[in-house]
Amino acid sequence: MYTSACSMGNKQEELEVMVQQQSDDVVAITETWWDDSHSWSAALDGYKLFRRKGRRGGGVALYIKKIFDSIGIETNEDGVECLWVRIKGRANKADILPGVCYHPPNQEEEVDNLFYKQLETVSGSSALVLVGDFNLPDICWELNTAEKR
C-alpha cells in the first residue's frame, strides 16, 4: 500500500484501520510530517517501522510486516528523502528492496543528482520496488518528454 499522508499526526487511526482491513505486507507513506512529538503514535501492531524525517512538509516511512526478515539500508545523502529496506528472500528467492521517496516541488538539481546516485547504488537488486511522490508535473507521459532535465 502507498499513500501520501500530508501529516500523519491526525491520520494514525485511519491508517491503522486500513492496514488491519487490507493486511498489506508493506505500507509506504510520503509526507509524514512526523517530528519527535509523534514518536509515541507511530507503531502499528505486527509491523516494523522504518522512517526518515524530512524537511517541513516531508518525511517518509515504510511499515514492513514483522514476519519478514527486514533491515534498513543506510544512505548518507543529506537532503534526499528516500528510505530503502531489504527484505530477505526465502528458499533461494531474491531479496526484495522496497523504497519510498519524496521529491519536493522545485527541488535543487544537486539533490536530484544525489537521488540518482542513491538509486544507482540500490538498483542492483532484481526485485526493486520504488514508490513515492515525485512532484514532477511537467512530464508528459504520453510523449515521454519533460520541460526540465
Q: What is the largest CA-CA distance in the chain?
A: 46
What average pLDDT does range 50-60 have in this prediction?
80
Mean pLDDT comparison of 15-19, 96-100, 123-127, highest-scoring range: 96-100
Strands (E), 8-148: 26-30, 47-52, 60-65, 70-73, 81-87, 97-102, 128-133, 139-140, 145-146
Q: Which three cell numbers stand for residue 88?
A: 530477505
Distance of CA 133 to the CA centre of its chain: 9
Mean pLDDT lowest for which of 3-17, 32-46, 57-71?
Answer: 32-46
pLDDT exceeds cutoff 90 at 100: yes
pLDDT confidence tier of residue 124, bands split at 50, 70 and 90: confident
Task: Report the domain count for the chain.
Answer: 1
pLDDT confidence tier of residue 83, bands split at 50, 70 and 90: very high
Are the C-beta atoms of residues 139 and 146 closer than 8 Å to each other?
Answer: yes
Q: For the domain that residue 71 is a member of, what is the CATH number?
A: 3.60.10.10
Higher pLDDT, 139 or 27: 27
* Nearest Cα to Cα of residue 31 among 116, 111, 146, 135: 135
CA angle 114, 60, 29 (to 5 degrees): 130
What average pLDDT does range 56-80 have in this prediction?
86
Q: What is the domain range of residue 88?
A: 2-146
Tell me, what's the pLDDT at 38?
57
**Pseudo-torsion of CA 13, 16, 20, 22, nearest 10°?**
100
What average pLDDT does range 88-115 have in this prediction?
88
What average pLDDT does range 54-73 have in this prediction?
88
Tell me, what's the pLDDT at 13?
79
